[in-house]
Structure 1
Amino acid sequence: MTIRNICVYGAGALGGAFAATIANTIGDQVKVTVIARGAQLAAIKAQGLTIEKAGVETVTARVDATDDPFELPPQDLVITGLKGHQLADAAKGIAALLHEKTRVINILNGIPWWYFHGDEHSRFAERQLPELDPDGQLWSLVGPQRVIGCVAYQGAEVIEPGTTRLSGNGRFFLGEPSGDMSADLNDISALLTSAGLNILPTARIRDEIWLKLTNNAAFNPISALTRSRMDAIMANPHTAAQVRNVMSETKNVGEAFGATFAKSLDELVDRPGGYDPVRTSMLQDCLAGKQLEIMPLTGMVATLGKLAGVPTPTCETILALTLQLDQANRDGQG
């Protein structure tokens, strides 16, 4: 495929880092535009997007920015940096950016709205998930056939409007829902690799989704509920036991839907070198009074567990507590 125009829809921490990296390295080959809002949009317009990373030179890139996707021409590639609970509301805006051959990369934590499209490893192929796409607009307006799934391993936090701080060396798994190592997947992977991103194409993107979800389903809500970083959670034997329970339940549900895990439960829980003092994205949102990304994570483990007949008692308890926390937080009681 020919890629000349790229739009990053949702230029927050990770979306902004993608946009800045691409614009800084191959901006002479592609035009990068971002969709942002509020203080982030104002900062990008005024001074560009900045990436900070320890031991690496700080990078600032100028990109076109707007909060109105309807004013842009069709794009060859759309990369969404929105969280799972924000994506459905953006369906019409994303659809406005599409031409016949546009591909859409969804950088998402947890179970994505397109999960069962092209799924040959369960009996639920093409099943839609109203918990993630309530009115079916993502399915009908964007279309699961356009999607390339993305599982991102990259710590990122907006430390001030327009500036993202990265931690660790990022890895980004890309895959077609069908498992096909398509020409589009190869072309997009090659382009993003040339931009300096560590892209890992895979024929089994769902395995990567479930592997990362074992961590996200546990650490995100527990960190928000306890206001704790990951190292502190694991230093406490009581909260560490709940992390293990959630990871076990998540792994069991994933395996029921055909996922293969490269690591045992012990290997998932016990990291060599221990856990870093990381503030999860849900903890960041909780402290900022933002809506929490609950349903794609622990919520879908519980939902899909019921669908598969796999018990998820710890996930269901944590889900109930986190939903109440989210409501109290948005009501100003957090």
Structure 2
Amino acid sequence: MDKTETNSLGQFRNICIFGAGAIGGALAARLASSPMLKGAKITAIARGAHLKAIRDNGLHLHEPGKTEPLVAKFSATDNAGDLDPQDLVIVTLKGHQLTSASADIARLLKPEGRVVMIQNGIPWWYFHGDKASGLQGRQVEALDPDGQVWQRIGPERVIGGVIYQGAQMLEPGHIRLTSGGLLHLGEPSGTMSPELGAIADLLQASGWTIKTTDHIRDQIWLKFLGNAAFNPISALTRGRISEIMDGPAVDLVKQVMTEVHAVAERLGCHVRETVEEKMEHGRGLGNAKTSMLQDLEQGRPMEITPLTRAITLLGRMADVPTPANDILLSLISQLDESMAKARTAEA
């Protein structure tokens, strides 16, 4: 083990992946199997049948190009109170799940511990350390009701994460990755800190392609450009991305992306793809299902605020009209409300 590995392991001996679904489970499996982390304790927060399968048989990670799955053994629990304080917590929950989990995440962290937040859409900490927008330190109530996440976890602990990784839960204890994967990491302040470098080293050594950046918000908006359009439209139409791009909603995709691009630029971010380039990228995703459509089909609450409501709110802050996104928000909110009533009636 070279000097870099020794330093990284010495700093992060207790690592928790909070939310061991498809992405979180893959992170846990690779970290637990990494020779670089042999002396570290990897723990995942999971639940239900998936938790039982991990405990009984380990997590089976089916990776592209490999005939046999990686079988990883690591600790797993559904009770964060079971764990000792952690040096590093990697959170892969969706935005609307964070408030209820924030107290547990905060309790898990050592005073000097760091938390990597891997999330789609606009995160709760967005304006912390943001020197470009003129809104530094602003809290957005809809993204963090009553400021609970901000107060409990603290934005100064956060390292932002933007991931590109196709992943699917095949069955409890079995996860399939459908692409090589890329994870962008960055401090909200833009600082290229030693902690950022050490965390990047750990994840890179466990099999991920990692890019660190001093402009994490640029990466947030680049991915958001597609998510803001494809997620709500797919839920409303029940369409896969190829069906959306070949159907009448393609003009709405362009309108939504154009508005998102304008808001990002007004807030001081550089989105390196044009709307046209992002649409072509979308065509390349083929018959993929968005996360919002998957949630809808499985009867789960949809991730509306970070992926749809956020652009309408930030548009107002930036004085950029967002009429297409405003309409999408109204429609997807009504759909989510009707689904919630159906769940209540079934219960």
Band of TM-score, shorter chain: over 0.9
CA contact (8 A) 2:242 2:283 kept: no
Aligned pairs (5 A) from 1:232-311: 232-236=243-247, 238-271=248-281, 274-311=284-321
Aligned to 1:207: 218
Paired position in structure 2 for 1:195: 206
2:52 aligned partner:
42
Q: TM-score, normalised by structure 1?
A: 0.96
2:193 maps to 1:179: no
**Aligned equivalents of 2:264 and 2:70: distance in 1?**
39
1:111 aligns with 2:130: no
Mapped partners of 2:223, 2:213: distance in 1: 15
Distance in 2 (alpha carbons) for counterparts of 1:164 and 1:24: 15
In the alignment, the residues of structure 2 paired with residue 332 and residue 85 of structure 1 have an alpha-carbon distance, to the nearest angstrom, of: 20
Of 31, 40, 46, which residue of structure 2 is paired with 1:22? 31
CA-atom RMSD, angstroms? 1.5
Number of residue pairs matched by the alignment: 333
C-alpha distance in structure 2 between counterparts of 1:158 and 1:279, whole Å: 13
- How high is the TM-score relative to the length of structure 2? 0.93
What is the CA-CA distance between 1:275 and the residue it aligns to? 3.2
SS state at 2:211 partner: strand
Question: 1:69 matched to which residue of 2?
Answer: 80
Question: What is the 5 A alignment of 1:122-161?
Answer: 122-161=133-172
Displacement of 1:272 = 8.7
- The residue identity in structure 1 corresponding to 2:313 is T
Give per-residue Cα distances to partners, 1:128-169, cap 9 Å, x unaligned: 111111121211111000000000001112121122121122
d(CA) in 2 for partners of 1:29, 1:295: 39
Aligned letter for 1:252? Answer: A
Mapped partners of 1:183, 1:289: distance in 2: 42
CA distance in 2, matches of 1:129, 1:269: 29
| TM superposition shift of 1:173 | 0.1
**1:5 maps to which of 11, 14, 34:** 14
- Structure 1 CA distance for aligned equivalents of residues 62 and 233 of structure 2: 28
Larger relative helix fraction:
2
Deviation at 1:127, TM superposition (A): 0.7
Number of the residue aligned with 1:331? 341
- Contact 1:234–1:275 (Cα < 8 Å) also in 2: no
> Which residue is equivalent to 2:3?
none
Q: Gaps spanning 5+ residues in structure 1: where?
A: none
Percent identity (aligned): 48
Residue matched to 2:4: none
Q: Provide the secondary structure at the position in 1 that maps to 2:145.
A: coil
Change (3 A) 1:272 1:278: closer
Structure 1 pair 275/192, CA: closer, same or farther in 2 (3 Å)?
A: closer
CA–CA separation in structure 2 for the residues paired with 1:72 and 1:54: 33
Alpha-carbon contact 2:241-2:283 (below 8 Å) kept: no
Q: Which residue of 1 aligns with 2:109?
A: 98
- Partner of residue 313, structure 1: 323
Alpha-carbon distance between aligned partners in 2 of 1:121 and 1:298, rounded to the nearest angstrom = 22
